[in-house]
Every structure is written in C-alpha cells, then in structure tokens.
A and B are shown apart, each in its own frame.
Chain A
Amino acid sequence: MGVRTWIESWPVYRQATGGDRLGRGAAARSGATEELRPRTADADRVVKSVCPYCAVGCGQNVYVKDERVIQIEGNPDSPISRGRLCPKGSASLQLTTGSAREEKVLYRRPYGADWEELDLGTAMSMVAERVARTRDETWEEEVDGRRVARTLGIAGLGGATLDNEENYLIKKLFTALGVVQVENQARVCHSSTVAGLGTSFGRGGSTTFLQDLQNSDCIVIEGSNFAEAHPVGFQWVMEAKARGAVVIHVDPRFSRTSALADLHVPLRAGTDIAFLGAIVNHVLTGEKYFRDYLLEFTNAATIVSEEFRDTEDLDGLFSGFDAEGRCYDTSSWMYDGASVAAAAGDRANFDRVRGTGRPEQQGSGGAVMSSVPREDRTLTDPRCVFQILRRHYSRYTPELVEEVCGVSREVFARVCDHLTRNSGRDRTSAFCYAVGWTQHTVGSQYIRTASILQLLLGNIGRPGGGIMALRGHASIQGSSDIPTLFDLLPGYLPMPHAAHEGSLQEYIRTNGASYKGFWTNMEAYTVSLLKAWWGDHATEENGYRFGHLPHLTGSHSTYDTVMAQIRGECRGYFLMGENPAVGSANSRAQRMGMANLEWLVVRDFSLIESATWWKDGPEIESGELRTEDIATEVFFFPAACHTEKEGTFTNTNRTVQWRDRAVLPKGDQRSDLWFVHRLGTMLRALLADSGLDRDLPLLELTWDYPTDEHGDPDAAAVLAEINGRGPDGAPLGSYTELRADGSTSCGCWIYCGVYADGVNQAARRKPGSEQDWVAAEWAWSWPANRRLLYNRASADAEGRPWSERKALVWWDAERGEWTGHDVPDFELHKAPDYRPPEGARGVEALSGTDAFIMQADGRAWLYAPTGLHDGPLPTHYEPQETPFENPLYGRQRNPTRLLYPHEYNRYHPQAGTPGAEVYPYLVTTYRLTEHFTAGGMSRWTPYLAELQPAFFCEVGPELAAERGLENGGWATLVTARAAIEARVLVTDRMAPLRVQGRVVHTIGLPYHWGPNGYTTGDAANELMSIALEPNTHIQEVKALTADIVPGRRPRGADREELVRSHRERAGITERTGTEV
C-alpha cells in the first residue's frame, strides 16, 4: 500500500476532502463495508431444489460454494411459490447444515445400555442378515388354504418425506420379499382423502391446484389450518381475497387462518358432517343447486335399488348391516338395473372381507359396475339419487346445526348465503381441507359431504372451484401414488387379496370389469407394472409373474402392525423418516410394540424418539420398562437430506417436481435410494443360491440400476422405469399407450408421461412469470400433465364454457378437439355429442358428457353405490369420544368404526353413560407454522425451536377459570391412555360453545413435541386412542375427550397411577366405548 493510498484510506481524510463533510456516509465506510458482498455472489453454482417440509412444494435455490451449501432461498421462477418460503423453508439451511444431524451409524445391541458406533458396511450386512432370517422364520405360504406367499414378521413405516423413486424401490423390494406391512404417513394423514375424493370423482388427489384458488369467488377453509400449515400456498387465498373473494374459516379454533378470513365459524370438533349436511339440505330445499351441471355430470338422476334403506328408515343404519361383524353387505346400495354380474357379486362379497382397506383403490376409480343404470332426468322418482339425498338430509336443519355444532342459525345462514351466491355459471367456490377432516372415525365421509355439496353447486372441474386437499409432507401425495401402503400397488392398483384374486384373471375380473371408464384398462396397467418389476421373467404363460405378489387376507395398516408387534408377531421394523413413538396415535402402544421387536432400523437426521425410547422413553422414566430388559436390537442410519440427493417430490397439486443434487452427504449419511438399493442387492446375493421358490420374486426382480461413483443409484433411471417403456424400449408418452400383452412396462401408470420423449418432464422449469396461471410447462402433474381434474365439466353439455369468466377447456368444433388453458381431462377428439354405440364397453362407452372418466358410470357420485364400507351417503355420527349424544339417530357413533381394545388402548365411556363426565372436555390437535409434524425436522432446528419453544395447550379464559389454569403455568391432561403436561396459553381464540343446551370447552394441542431435541415436551399423541375409520384405517385425533387439571404431571410411577385412578373413577373396562 502506497503512502498516498494509505492516507486516502483514512476516513478523516475522505471526510475532509470528499462530499461527506459530516462523516456520516461515504467517508465513514470501513474496510469490511467496502468489501461487502452477498455470500451468494461467490457461489460456485445454484442448484434447483424443492422444499422438504409441507406439500406446497416451494421451489428452492441452493447456493453451493466449495461443495458446501451456503444459502437456501426461494426460487422466484416457481409458479407455485413465487420465490417465497415460510419459516420452515427458510430454516432449511439450518436443517440441512446444522449440527443436529447425525453422521455416524449407531448400534444398540440387545439389552445394551447405550449406543455403539458401527461401520456402515457391517451394519448393512447385519440388517440384510436379519431381514433374511426373520423372513425365513415367519414365512407364510398359505393362510386358510389360500396362497399368500408373504411374511408378517417384517414391517416398514415412512415414505412421505422421501422421494418418489425411493418409495418406488421400497415398495418394489419389500413386495418382492413378501413384506406386506409397508406403510407411511399417508395412512395417518390423508388416506381418507383417497377414499372420499376417489369414490366421488374417480381419483383420490386434490381436484384442483393451489394457484387456481386465485380464481375463486368464495373459499371455504374447513378442517384445515391453511395459513399455518401451508403458509406459502396461502398466498393464493390472499390473492383471491385481494380480488374480492370471501374467505370463510370453519374451525373449532380461531387460528392464524381465521385471522385473515372474512368470517370465522367456530364449530364443535367432530361435527362437520352435520354442518355440511345442513348446507346440502339448504341447497336442495332452496333449489340453489346447478341443475344443468347436476344432470350432465353427476348421478343425481340415477335410480337406486329398491332394496336400499336409508339411515332415516333404520335409525342411523343403512340397509345390509351385520351387527355381529360390524360391517355392511353393500349390495342393496347398488343402482337399480345395474345387473349384478359375477364380478360385481364377487365385489359385494369382497366388501364383507372386513378391513382390507379397499376403498383406497378408489383413488383411481375401481368401482365395478357391469351395466348401464336407469335414470330419471326429471329428478322426481323417489328412488333417484336426488330424492334420496333430499330425504337423507331433510333433518339436517339450521336448528340442528345450532344444537349439534354450536353454530348459531344466523352465522350458518351467512355461510350458506356466501357459498350459494358465489356458485353457478359465472361464479365458483372452492373448499380447502386437510387433516381436520381426514382424521376422524368418519373421515372419508367428511370429504364425501364436501364432494356432494360442491357437485350440487357445480363447482368441480371448474376454475376457482374444486376441493383442495392440503397435503402436509413434501411427497405424501407421491407416497400414495407410488404407495408405501399395504393395500396398494403403484397407481392405486389394489394389492391382491388371497380370497378372490389368486390369479391375474381373477384380479382383473374383480377390479377392472366395469362396463365403462378408463379403469377398464386396468389389465394394461397391471401387466405393465409386472413387466417393470419382473422384466423378461414376466410372460403371458406365467401370468406375468402375478404370483410373485404377496397376498392380503385382512388389514395390515400401521395400527394393525403395532398390535401385531405387541403380540410379538411382527419382529423387524424399518422406520424411514417417520417417528411413530410420538407421531402416531397412542404413543405408548407404539413404543410397547417396538419394545417387543427383535430388531429395529431407524433412518433419520437426528436421534428421534423412535430411535431412543429404549434408553430414555417415558416407560423407562416410569420404571415400567428397564433398558437392560429390552431385547430389541436398534440400528440408526443417518439419512441424506433433500439437497444431498436427486429425485422427485409430488406436491399437493399432484405436481411431480425434480430436485437436483447440490452436495454429497457426509460420513455415513446416505439416501434412502442408496439404502434400499444396497439392501436389495445384498439380499439378492445372500439368497442367490437358496433354490427356494419364495426367493424367486426377489431374484427375478429388475434391480440393475446404474450407479454413480458414490454408489448412488441413478434416480432418473428409476423415474424412467416408473414412466414406462414401449415395445422398442423407448419411454412412453401417455398411459393410453399401455398394453396388456406384455409389450409395455410401466412402474406407475398414472405417472406415465413424466419421462415422455426421454426428457425428465418433472425437471421442466419454465418460469411462472412467462406462463399463464396454469403454468403447464413447470414440472409435470399426474395424470397426463392435467392440472385441474375433471375439467371437461368446465364446459356445458355442448362443450361451451359455462360462462366467459369461468372458461377453462372447451370443444373446438372446427379442429374437432378439446382445447383451452389446461390439458383436457378427456379424450382429445371425443366430441361433446358423442354417444356410445349399443353394447360399447370400456373407454368407448364413455359419452361426450361423461366428464368423470375414471368412474364406472362416467359420473361424479352424489351417492356412492359402492366403494365405501360405512355408507353410500355421509351421516352425522359422534366421534368415538364425545361429550354429547347424537340427536339425529339412536346410533351414536360410526357403527363400522374399527376398535382395538387392549390394556394399552382403553376408551372413554359413551356420552350420557356413567363415567363419561370424568373426561369432560373436548380436545383437538393441530399444527403450528413454526414446527413440522412430529418434530423431527423442527425441534432440533434452533431457529424454529425458539419461535415455539414449549409444548402448550390452548384454553379459553372460561375454562381457565373453571379449572384454575394460569396463563404461562402448567396443566396436566388426562385420558384413559396417558397423562401429559403442557404449558398453558389462555386465549380468547378458544371459544366455549353452547351445544345441546350446555357449554362445552375445547382444548387445543399442537402435536409437534416429544422428549428429544432442542425444544422438548410431552407428545400430544400419548393421549390418543387407536380408533379407526373403517375404510382407510385412519385414526381419530381431531376430536376426543380429556380431563385437565392445573400443575405439572406426576413423575415416575405416579404418572400411570393418575391415569389409572381416572380410569377407575370412570369405571372403564375392556368393553367400555366399544358399543356398536
């Protein structure tokens, strides 16, 4: 440095000589300031990624410098997120690069007191050996004389936080191993969505996409804490609001969503069917329905069997109830004249096979109907769906809403008014929901009620309309589509059942034998899947290796698996990004199940509760379990994060978005793709010479994926397999190209097209600013890149938009094809006036107005003649645990709900019976913006933990006064399962409601906490019982009862004593709460 420079660098010199005489600006600039640059400016590269938290699927730019991630922020090109991120997305730098992530494999030997370090390779060999051994020891070739070819000794849980490619390999490998107990978060979060939306419309995914909410004239958010759980998606609600839309939030709590709504309607948790059913009644009696839409696109005119009896006739039961089996024979619910052929007959019997969870299959249609049903287009026939609907909801009045839901008639009228005024030819309303609807013993029926309402109002398949199912994990939609679920194969093909699906022919006849719709091509989808899995080994002669698939005999949902673990039947357990020890209902049962395992594999970022319960879980603290007595062998594998692997997430829009890899993971951290691929490779080597038939599915499996220099399988190659190949080996462009003759292969038929032309369509990133709101060139949506499902219904019978303002797709007569803003969800060249020829079957049988192309009759279903176990029409039943009796029917609760009485899983007395008053308050659970699910990705992240640093309960001032709860103090909550403590937050936002003439208080519990991590607390799920919805086995955690007392909970054995004394006071036995 020269003298001159040195002098000039002296601020006083600059001050004296420059323009900054006061020394407040330029002259004061320091050396560091002169050199200041954003760290992103020095990045070596910017990698395109997708946020790993909720399912909005916000685009992320990952800045990498010297092979380290130095910054993660929103990608402004994303038409979904427009560059924005919520606090969790904003904290993903800390999540992925922070010190909370484990880097070493850890091992806990049987009866061991602590972790030991283990070499990754050794650990993998040990796991492979244990899988092989347990599989061998627990193999079942037959059950009750029927071939099942499976093991119930091993189970897997987790997938919604993983990539589609990872889920695909998990399902593929586990199925080839004969492991059927494969489950993920989709079971406990949104399984009822698939059944609810699937039976109504034909597909189980959200009918619309987030960005389209901006076109809504009225948005009803019910069963969702939209703004908190999906903040970046909520920008589209705000956009609609700015354009004049009315936003209504119906929810027991006044949340951050309510704060931005025009109208908040607090209703009693667990009563939404009564509320929505009354709107249905209002629409019907006030003739506010969209008649033309109803006639063209729904089954309103269809005549139902004369054997059908409604809940109005049978005091809360439909016809066909079997009280002993607690299930329905659903044959009397069928359409009149729909000849019940052999296939449908099988189907009806099938529905009696209790608890196989078949309605999940409805995600892609699947109901079997063998002939054209009769119609009365005047809608006057007393047996037509329209009239049945009218009678069914006739007692769902504003007065009933007041009595059941605690919502005043005046407020109810305002909701009806907003909704009906904003629906019709020129206006559309949207419903948005999440797990506030799904997690009930009547979860699927909640969603059905909204579906009925939206169909009556003509809001499905139209811009600004629809039902937005808000998913909550980065790829929970994907883990349903490419399912790590026990009852599904990819693309919502059902897992074969031993009873009626022993061969490919039987399987197709049972499921794909409808007379109309795209589901009739099921054989092509199935054979293509079998070809993808077993390649050249799958031939026509051997039924394309259909026999390689293990078969179901009943339910193997995650809760059934837990009970099997408690019984000692399930011995090995893989947890891949899921934390059931605090995240699933009845946490204690979850842990007691794990304590009974021979081995447990946990793959996660940090030492979550499911990995450490054996040394520091609540049962250790209480003395109920002793570490030295627990035989479970535990393997902890540190997982790679979203920036460290490439692959796709499917967001809540059904949009499949590709992430590039930014950096390599550290130490022993590996992707799940690596783990599953390696495990499969090792097992194939281990069993290569076994000579056993049972090992053939594994040995014949297509498993030769190219790997990179780090041993990671090529995710794009997996995606290409999912997409499928034609006879020439070239990637297929659409599922319509799939064939049943073995000439095509396809890993998931609804994803066919994601690799069209050999191009990774999920990696398309044309900026949203350069496209219209549909943004068809951003990534790829299933099916066939259609963004708004059933969009044929956005045009009238003649194919003209219902109105200029609500135009989406329409028929272009000149060009002879459908056109518009979105990819038509309809055969491109099928004219609106097309009528199928006599005797037409399959796709040909779909007429030019059959807008719901997956449905067996081409129509959206107001009334579900088949597909659901608990009724063709939604009916208000009280939750399993409720302070109130059902004023509508003698039948109190869903008569087909699934109960699991066990000493770990006691139920509260039925409302109105002695002992019910011991648990007098209503409890509901929910998410906070600042945390994520069971906390594995937020409690360890300091920037998030500090924002919500303690587990708390929200109570109204009235309840606080009644029970002496102090704001900021502690409270103990007690149910028949557990006692937990929480800090108290007293707030006006929790409103007491007047129901059936008395006051009920609701307690709110965010469910993110557990004893591990940076912010710790008791888990809300300790309180929950396992009481499941009959269609999809989802647990009821959004409405239950509990007691609350001031102060902290007892420690040690006294904790269980408190729970026991409450149980005793309530007189609880193994029969309590199990009434039909």
Chain B
Amino acid sequence: MVVRSARGHGDPGESGTGQGYGDEQRERVGFFTDTSVCIGCKACEVACKEWNSVPEDGLDFTAMSFDNSVGLGADTWRHVAFVEQRRPLGHQDAGVGRPAPVDLGMPSTELPGAYTGVEEREEFRWLMASDVCKHCTSAACLDVCPTGSLFRTEFGTVVVQQDICNGCGYCVSACPYGVIDRREDDGRAWKCTMCYDRIGDGMEPACAKACPTDSIQFGNLDELRERAARRLEDLHGAGVSSARLYGEDPGDGVGGNAAFFLLLDEPEVYGMPPDPVVTTRDLPSMWAHAGLAAAALLVGSAAAFAGRRR
C-alpha cells in the first residue's frame, strides 16, 4: 500500500515525469482510433479478450444495430459502437435514407403502403467506433484509489494491479467516462491496461495489432497526434466536415487522453461525454473549503465556550 495524498489529482501532466521511474521512464504511448475507417468487425473486442483472458459476458441480443456488447465494462475493454443515422457522410451516397416524416394530416392520394420515401431519399450513414479506456492525463480513478492498485506506468498509461485491488469501487464512480467497472464474481475493478505486459516487451496492444483496417493505431502519443491532425485535414478536404478529434487536447478537462479518437459526429452520439472533466478536479479546493469550514467551526465552538465561561 502507498500513501495517497488527498490533494486531488496530482498528476504532473504531459511530461510524464515525477512518477519515480527515473531512467526507466519511457515515451508516452497511446491509441489513436480513427473511426472513419472502422468496419465494425469487433476484432479489437475479441483480440483483447483472448489476450487478457477477459470472460465472455453473456448472450444478450439488444436489437441496437449490431451492438450486442453495449458498452465498456469489467468484461468488455474494447467496445464497438454502431450508430445508424439519417444524415450524410461526406460525399458518400448511401442510397437507403428516408425523408423525415412530415404528416400534414391530409388524406393521402397514394394507396396505403405505396409510399416508401425512396423517391425522396435523404442521406444515411452507419457509424462505427471502437471505444476504450482513455488513459487520461489526469486520471480520477487513480486519484481516488486508496490502495495504490491503480497506478501510472512508465508509459504514462493507467493500470489496475489486480494483486492490490480490494474492490472498494471508488474508481468506478470517479471515472468521467464510465469505463472502469467491478467484475461481479470477484469484485475487483477491471479495465484496459493498454496491454501493459505486451508494450513492456516491445509488442503492440492486441486490439491495435488485430485491427484489419488500422482504425486502431498504437504508438508514440505525439506522433499519433500529428497523424490524427493530418487525417482530420484530409477528411475535411474530402468533404467530411463533421469529422473531429476527441480527447487529443491536453487543454481539456482531463488533460488530454492517451487514447483519443477521430469521430464523425458529436461524442454523445457514440455514448461518450462531450466535455469530460476529471472528477477530482475540485478536490483540492473542496478540501480547502472543508478545512476552512472545519477551522471556522472550531473557532466558533471555541468562541462559544469561551463566551460561556465569561
């Protein structure tokens, strides 16, 4: 066990130093998930489970497009979201869209069922995106972990040490993305490790290695950010104006993510929070306020006693 200060998120930010690794400190690595080339094959989900021996977690037909694993959790460390939308994707012509229904309440001149909308097609697109733990620069899960189970590795990633975790679950409520989760049967918290064992041996994480279209790219975080910026520019040039990066900005509420994304719509559409903030951001000031309040209480009480004696 380590002694974790309650001073809030004490991460030193981008530099990655100050973790005590000294010479063993490695360059910060991350995932760039380019959802514009994702084919929704779920190789990432399976490769992750195979490598990490993550349990299969049930046969649940959701009828939500092709998404039957629903979201990230203790037993799903990569999750592919499927979003069917009645809106265009750049210059793609999907051919199957329908017009938004406009019912003016007037009697139809067509036979029932004859109108299909095919004559006035609108656009359609099917978005797919593989989600994963963000390995935040300012990681609330790590901040609140009382046991030292969650720690920051020499690669700047955030990992749960299963031999330490006591299953308290503080991290679960602390995560602004709802990523980390306790496994029902053993109670401990589980999430993506960015294949800490593999990257320590010079291998790439299982999901990135399997990905058939290189939608998931692993590597030096700075390089990935440059690559992402170029890709974004290309897509904008190709008319995909809705493309945007998510989680790459060191100035955001979590200090930027080691796992960031190129999305084709608002993050909410994919089930990601639009403006995540490290949940321990206000902890220092909360402690300060609490301390102040406690001090004031003390002073007040003291004053009250003092007053009575007089």
Contact = CB atoms under 8 A, between A and B. Distances in A.
A24 B142 contact: yes
Given A90-B210, A260-B39, A988-B98, A958 B68 contact: no
B299 interface: no
Chain B interface main SS type: loop
Contacts of B93: 262-264, 411, 414
A913 B246 CA distance: 58
B62 A968 contact: yes
Interface stretch (A30-38, A627-635, A656-664, A801-809): A30-38
A562 interface: no
Interface string A18-29: 111111111111
**Among B47, B69, B209: residue with most chain A CB under 10 A:** B47
Contacts of A615: none
B210 A238 contact: no
Contacts of A14: 20
Which of A12, A25, A949: most chain B Cβ within 10 A? A25
Q: Which of A22, A261, A266 has the most chain B CB atoms inside 10 A of its CB?
A: A22
B163 A26 contact: no
B196 interface: yes
A25 B20 contact: yes
Interface residues of A, number: 97
A264 B96 contact: yes
B200 A259 contact: no
A254 B95 contact: yes
Contact of B56 (A93, A942, A990): A942
Tell me which of A72, A945, A991 has the highest count of chain B C-beta atoms within 10 A of its own C-beta: A991
Given A946-B56, A968-B62, A259 B128 contact: yes
B2 A12 contact: yes
Given A25-B152, A258-B94, A87 B19 contact: no
A91 B5 contact: no
B61 A949 contact: yes
B20 A18 contact: yes
B124 interface: yes
Interface string B69-111: 1000000000000001010000111111110000000000000
B214 A235 contact: yes
B306 interface: no
A234 B164 contact: no
Contacts of A259: 39-40, 125-128
A30 B161 contact: yes
Contact of A25 (B21, B62, B211): B21
A23 B145 CA distance: 11
B22 A19 contact: yes
A948 interface: yes
Contacts of B57: 946
A28 B209 CA distance: 29
Interface stretch (A224-232, A689-697, A739-747): A224-232
B292 to A, nearest CB: 24
Contacts of A800: none
Interface string A246-273: 0000000010111111111110000000
A419 B107 CA distance: 44
Contact of A231 (B41, B66, B92, B201): B41
Contacts of A990: 96
A983 interface: yes
A999 B42 contact: no
Interface string B145-165: 000110111100001011110
B297 interface: no
B13 interface: no
A987 B65 contact: yes
A40 B197 CA distance: 10
Contact of A24 (B10, B62, B119): B10
Given A227-B41, A948-B66, A86 B212 contact: yes
Contacts of A1043: none
B112 to A, nearest CB: 9
Interface in A867-921: none
A254 B128 CA distance: 14
Contacts of B197: 36-39
B2 A23 contact: yes
A271 B118 CA distance: 18
Contacts of B117: 958, 992
Contacts of B98: 957, 988
Contacts of A90: 43, 46-47, 50, 206, 210
Contacts of A23: 2-5, 148
A238 B47 contact: no
Nearest to A928: B66
A37 B201 contact: yes
B248 interface: no
Interface in A954-1012: 957-958, 962, 967-968, 983-994, 998-999
A19 B213 contact: no
A929 B18 CA distance: 45
A920 to B, nearest CB: 11
B126 A984 contact: no
Contacts of B24: 26
B200 A989 contact: no
Given A24-B19, A32-B162, A256-B126, A85 B210 contact: yes
Contact of A84 (B45, B115, B212): B212
Q: Which of A32, A930, A948, A968 has the most CB of B within 10 A?
A: A930
A74 B204 CA distance: 12
Contact of A945 (B19, B59, B196, B206): B59
B40 A28 contact: no
Given A20-B18, A36-B200, A998-B114, 16 more contacts: A11-B2, A19-B19, A22-B4, A24-B2, A28-B161, A29-B161, A30-B148, A30-B163, A31-B163, A32-B161, A40-B203, A84-B210, A87-B46, A264-B96, A414-B93, A968-B63
Interface of A: 11-12, 14-15, 18-33, 36-41, 71-74, 83-91, 93-94, 227-228, 231-232, 234-235, 238, 254, 256-266, 406, 411, 414, 928-930, 942-950, 952, 957-958, 962, 967-968, 983-994, 998-999, 1014-1015
10 contacts: A19-B22, A22-B10, A25-B154, A26-B24, A84-B211, A84-B214, A256-B40, A256-B126, A263-B92, A264-B93
The 9 residue pairs across chains A and B that have the minimum distance between CB atoms: A20-B20, A25-B19, A23-B2, A968-B63, A949-B59, A26-B20, A942-B56, A28-B151, A991-B96
